[in-house]
Amino acid sequence: MTATPSPASPTADLLARLADLLGPSGILTETSDVAPYCTDWRSLYHGRAAAVLRPASTAELAQAVSLCAAAGVAMVPQGGNTSMVGGATPDESGRDIVVCLSRMNRVRRIDPLDHTMDIEAGVTLKAAQDAAREAGLMLPLSISSEGSAQIGGVLATNAGGNNTVRYGNARELVLGLEVVLPDGSVFNGLRRLRKDNTGYALRQLFVGSEGTLGFITSAILQLQPQPRAVEAALCAVAGAGAALALFSAFRAQDPALIQAFEYMSGAGMDLVTRLVPGTSLPLAEPAPAYVLVELATPRRNAGLRTVLEDVLAGMFEAGTVSDAVIAESEGQRLALWKLREEHAEAQRRAGASVKNDVSVPVSRVPELIDRASAACAALIPGIRPVPFGHIGDGNIHFNLVQPEGMDPAAFLAQDHRIMDTVAAIVRDLDGSFSAEHGVGRLKPYMMPDWRGGAELATMRRIKDAIDPHGLMNPGTLFPPAG
Amino acid sequence: MTATPSPASPTADLLARLADLLGPSGILTETSDVAPYCTDWRSLYHGRAAAVLRPASTAELAQAVSLCAAAGVAMVPQGGNTSMVGGATPDESGRDIVVCLSRMNRVRRIDPLDHTMDIEAGVTLKAAQDAAREAGLMLPLSISSEGSAQIGGVLATNAGGNNTVRYGNARELVLGLEVVLPDGSVFNGLRRLRKDNTGYALRQLFVGSEGTLGFITSAILQLQPQPRAVEAALCAVAGAGAALALFSAFRAQDPALIQAFEYMSGAGMDLVTRLVPGTSLPLAEPAPAYVLVELATPRRNAGLRTVLEDVLAGMFEAGTVSDAVIAESEGQRLALWKLREEHAEAQRRAGASVKNDVSVPVSRVPELIDRASAACAALIPGIRPVPFGHIGDGNIHFNLVQPEGMDPAAFLAQDHRIMDTVAAIVRDLDGSFSAEHGVGRLKPYMMPDWRGGAELATMRRIKDAIDPHGLMNPGTLFPPAG
């Protein structure tokens, strides 16, 4: 493999030409204007950038990329800047140009017969959801950052979230894609076809490529009917094994009814209800673990409540579920979700924590939780494992809160030992070191070990073929060559 | 782009080394043994091959590919040899080596909790379906060649079929993939994870690549629960517009209930019932068009029959459906399906026909049928359009039967004019020239026009990066460079 030359610094001439092309609202070069784009939202990554480009159209972006490519200047795509892994932050060289598509923010068309949405990259996920809803449809992708996250970033990182169990990841929603390639040429794959076997599925390559192969500028997304019936319940269970038995029981009824299936530990629930105001456990007594299940269907009179009650009754009888509460109103449903969603806030209030966004085959979640909890406790006595999340997808946020009374900095000094401990068990269970969040700048060092050999070699070949000068989001996804 | 050197002819030494490696049951070199692998099942493509390799394992295949690659010899992957586009037939040079994985035919594991199947490439689709069924689950992919088609080929061509409307194409079923690359290295991506954002989605690139990037040797497939309730009905409608209105009505109830939604023209139904013994129209009188709808759910007592009857009642009232018959037994259900499945046989009996496997956005199917029928009639008066198929996916088999009494050869002499006429309309409707069948050797010439510019250039870059010596399935998918 040939060594990729280092990207060049933008010259004053290049910046002037970009300013000419994009106009005053299309480029930022003042340090104070550029600064907000150089730090991720959690303030964990700090870079520098020579400029921020804000093109207003695909044509403008294509021309700007051509200019940057000709000058050998590296570009960092940034959507809503909500990456969990520093995937949209420029490096410290000050040579990168950040490119932001937030001005390309039109929902161009929603087709009620095709159930498709033609949308630009800069629309926030929330705005896209709202547009679908106003058209009587649903964009079935929901993540906690949806108010800021933009469609381009959502697709570039193959976002997951609470509804993946029913509708798949972002990848599964994409029918068509338009991409500005690293040389400024435009791949127009904005097709809204459900069947199209005419060559390589390029859109699938760009989805999840974390901005290392080009700029996703717009997409055709597949929509769904809006649910007309929703039922939610919080169930007390003995642990992850029981949670999976409950999942199997609902799935045996009909997997298409399961809109969300979330696991929470007793420890996590205890933190939430003790530390977050306005929360309380709506069950008679605490349990070792909980499941928040949400069933939904667009069909009226589908007997959804009966499904819920029948499955729960069977699981009570089998001893799998010890107690459960069914939401009797939208307010109660939201209160159940609050218990799940405040896990992050509860951890923050409990002190320092280390987060692991990992996945294993669904069947192996109980083993993951048992083994990783024990291993972390052996490492740091008193550590508080707070595993929670999308158990129906095998995707557990295996987070660990510091022991009570421990110095937070001393705890965080061990973050890599903790992460490595969890990772080793995930590895042993044939899992992944990043389920939803991607690789970004945080985890490229793990790639050779986990995705090495022919897999990483093939990824590099593709990267070199499409971005031969290494100008797209350098430092992201791939470890340094060598 | 550098010109790819022509593949070499296998030397006697290479063949001897392959024979040593694979043993007597692993290689065929006698002309009579090799011949069956050199012609496609419809006998439209005739090639020659120096040998047929039949490795028994991924390790054997990897070594054989290494030997061929070192010798610069081209390889043609062949599964069940059921391609509709000549995608598995060697060219006429006699230099290619056909590689067949039919000895790698184990269903290695079905996991009831993960709902996954770990399966080798040489298993037939039918055997895979049966294995899933015996485990109480369903592999939701069904195509007419499923008795012969093998998993490797099904994935390499991203097969579709009757159930795509509900479960997606083959692509959507693949969680993990193992691939022997053109240099003999092995990409082991046999993961059974529903969420895994760790680099490029290589599996998505190999699915649908038609054997031009490597050999798919095994896969992890996502299974579904078996349906426990199925309802089928044949509905008389005024045309494709009414068929889509009916589709929308069912989808508004719940898209997850629609297991199949097939369109048939009055002309096609007339051919079937007149020419195929054992078929008859189960309605009082013929209609301009028909829909075969099949609803299914794994849920007992889901009120499936009520959904069917309610939607049909509403559609009667609206004038969308003029008549319908609901299958009251499994025998009746199969009789309805026979009307759909005998379309190919009826066309054969009616004389020569020209077939077009095209797709358009769902909403544009009526326009496709109207315009393409008129254009073909203008071209050849008396031509009989027989459009049918997966209207719920926008995938119509736009087939045309010769005028009555016309010389079949004279009709077939115009096949390219007919195909071009249909293609031009499909193109105008933002459709695809190959919905399910792929490109193969039949349609590479269409790629520059339909998928040209940055799209085809990017495909070529990927091809050159992964198969730099052009040894995988040469002549397939890509038009000659130049």
A12 touches chain B (CB under 8 A): no
Q: What is the pLDDT of residue B301?
A: 87
> Does the pLDDT of residue B5 top 80, yes or no?
no
Residue B193: its chain A contacts at CB < 8 A?
359-361, 394, 430-432, 435
Residue B247: pLDDT band (50, 70, 90) is very high
**A389: phi then psi, degrees, rounded to nearest 5:** 125, -150
Q: Which of B183, B194, B359, B429 to mutate to test binding with chain A, by most A CBs within 10 Å of its CB?
A: B194
Contact A362/B438, CB-based, under 8 Å?
Answer: no
Q: Select the residue of A113, A362, A454 nearest B181 (Cβ to Cβ).
A: A454
Q: How far is the alpha carbon of B436 from chain A, nearest alpha carbon, in Å? A: 6
Please give the C-alpha separations between residue B249 and each of A313, B71, B151, B312, B316, in angstroms, as whole numbers: 34, 59, 34, 9, 12
Q: How far is the alpha carbon of B283 from chain A, nearest alpha carbon, in Å? A: 28
Percent with pLDDT over 70 in chain A? 99
User: Could you read off the pLDDT of B176-207 as tens digits, one per residue?
Assistant: 999 999 999 999 999 999 999 999 999 999 99
Residue A464: its chain B contacts at CB < 8 A?
465
Residue A298: its chain B contacts at CB < 8 A?
252-255
Residue B84: its chain A contacts at CB < 8 A?
none
Q: What is the pLDDT of residue A6?
A: 82
Q: What is the pLDDT of residue A301?
A: 87
User: Could you read off the pLDDT of A213-248 as tens digits, one per residue?
Assistant: 999 999 999 999 999 999 999 999 999 999 999 999
A169 touches chain B (CB under 8 A): yes
Q: What is the pLDDT of residue B482?
A: 55
A253 touches chain B (CB under 8 A): yes
B305 touches chain A (CB under 8 A): no
Cα separation, A28 vs A97, in Å, equals: 10
Q: How far is the alpha carbon of A263 from chain B, nearest alpha carbon, in Å? A: 16
Residue B245: pLDDT band (50, 70, 90) is very high
Q: What is the pLDDT of residue A3?
A: 46
User: Could you read off the pLDDT of A286-295 as tens digits, one per residue?
Assistant: 999 999 999 9
Q: How far is the alpha carbon of A228 from chain B, nearest alpha carbon, in Å? A: 9
Q: How far is the alpha carbon of A78 from chain B, nearest alpha carbon, in Å? A: 18
Contact B193/A301, CB-based, under 8 Å?
Answer: no
> Does the pLDDT of residue A457 top 80, yes or no?
yes
Per the DSSP assignment, residues forming a β-bridge with A292 are A234, A262
Interface of B with A in 110-149 (CB under 8 A): 111, 113-116
Contact between residue A434 and residue A37 where contact means Cβ atoms under 8 Å apart: no
Contact A455/B209, CB-based, under 8 Å?
Answer: no
User: CA nearest B411: which of B350, B354, B367?
Assistant: B354
Q: How far is the alpha carbon of A457 from chain B, nearest alpha carbon, in Å? A: 9
User: Could you read off the pLDDT of A401-444 as tens digits, one per residue?
Assistant: 999 999 999 999 999 999 999 999 999 999 999 999 999 999 99
Contact A434/B196, CB-based, under 8 Å?
Answer: yes
> Does the pLDDT of residue B2 top 70, yes or no?
no
In A, minimum Cα distance to B162 occurs at A195
Q: How far is the alpha carbon of B443 from chain A, nearest alpha carbon, in Å? A: 9
Q: What is the pLDDT of residue B481?
A: 77
Contact A477/B199, CB-based, under 8 Å?
Answer: yes
Contacts of B245-249 with C-beta under 8 Å, sequence gap 24+, read B245/B315, B245/B318, B245/B320, B246/B291, B246/B293, B246/B311, B246/B315, B246/B320, B246/B321, B247/B291, B247/B362, B247/B391, B247/B392, B248/A113, B249/B311, B249/B314, B249/B315, B249/B320
Q: How far is the alpha carbon of A430 from chain B, nearest alpha carbon, in Å? A: 7
Q: How far is the alpha carbon of B252 from chain A, nearest alpha carbon, in Å? A: 6
Q: What is the pLDDT of residue A261?
A: 98
B458 touches chain A (CB under 8 A): yes
Q: Which of B181, B200, B247, B398 to mutate to test binding with chain A, by most A CBs within 10 Å of its CB?
A: B200
Residue B438: its chain A contacts at CB < 8 A?
197-198
Q: Which of A107-111, B161-165, B455-459 has the lowest mean pLDDT?
A: B161-165
Residue A2: pLDDT band (50, 70, 90) is very low
> Does the pLDDT of residue B98 top 50, yes or no?
yes
Average confidence (pLDDT) over B262-281: 97
Contact A299/B253, CB-based, under 8 Å?
Answer: yes
* Neighbour count for residue A333 (Cβ, 10 Å): 19
Q: Which of A195, A207, A300, A462 to mutate to test binding with chain B, by most B CBs within 10 Å of its CB?
A: A195
Count interface pairs A-B at CB distance under 8 A.
279
Contact between residue A228 and residue A297 where contact means Cβ atoms under 8 Å apart: yes
Contact A458/B464, CB-based, under 8 Å?
Answer: no
Q: How far is the alpha carbon of B433 from chain A, nearest alpha carbon, in Å? A: 8
DSSP for A162-181? TTHHHH--HHHHEEEEEEE-
In B, minimum Cα distance to A478 occurs at B199
In A, minimum Cα distance to B296 occurs at A254
Q: What is the pLDDT of residue B4?
A: 55
Indicate if the alpha-carbon torsion angle B348, B151, A200, B140 is positive or negative: positive
Contact B195/A255, CB-based, under 8 Å?
Answer: no
Contact A302/B297, CB-based, under 8 Å?
Answer: no
> Does the pLDDT of residue A271 top 60, yes or no?
yes
Q: Select the residue of A197, A363, A390 nearest B434 (Cβ to Cβ).
A: A197
Q: What is the pLDDT of residue A481?
A: 77
Q: What is the pLDDT of residue A1?
A: 41
Average confidence (pLDDT) over B163-168: 95
User: CA nearest A218: which of A130, A142, A104, A132?
Assistant: A104
For chain B, the straight-line distance linking the first and the last C-alpha, in angstroms and rounded, comes to 9
A437 touches chain B (CB under 8 A): yes
Q: Select the residue of A111, A248, A395 nearest B195 (Cβ to Cβ).
A: A395
Residue B113: its chain A contacts at CB < 8 A?
244, 248, 362-363
Interface of B with A in 189-218 (CB under 8 A): 189, 191-202, 204-205, 207-209
Q: Which of B458, B469, B476 to mutate to test binding with chain A, by most A CBs within 10 Å of its CB?
A: B458
Q: For chain B, list the domains and their CATH numbers.
A: 107-225 (3.30.465.10), 229-344 (3.30.70.2190), 351-428 (3.30.70.2740)
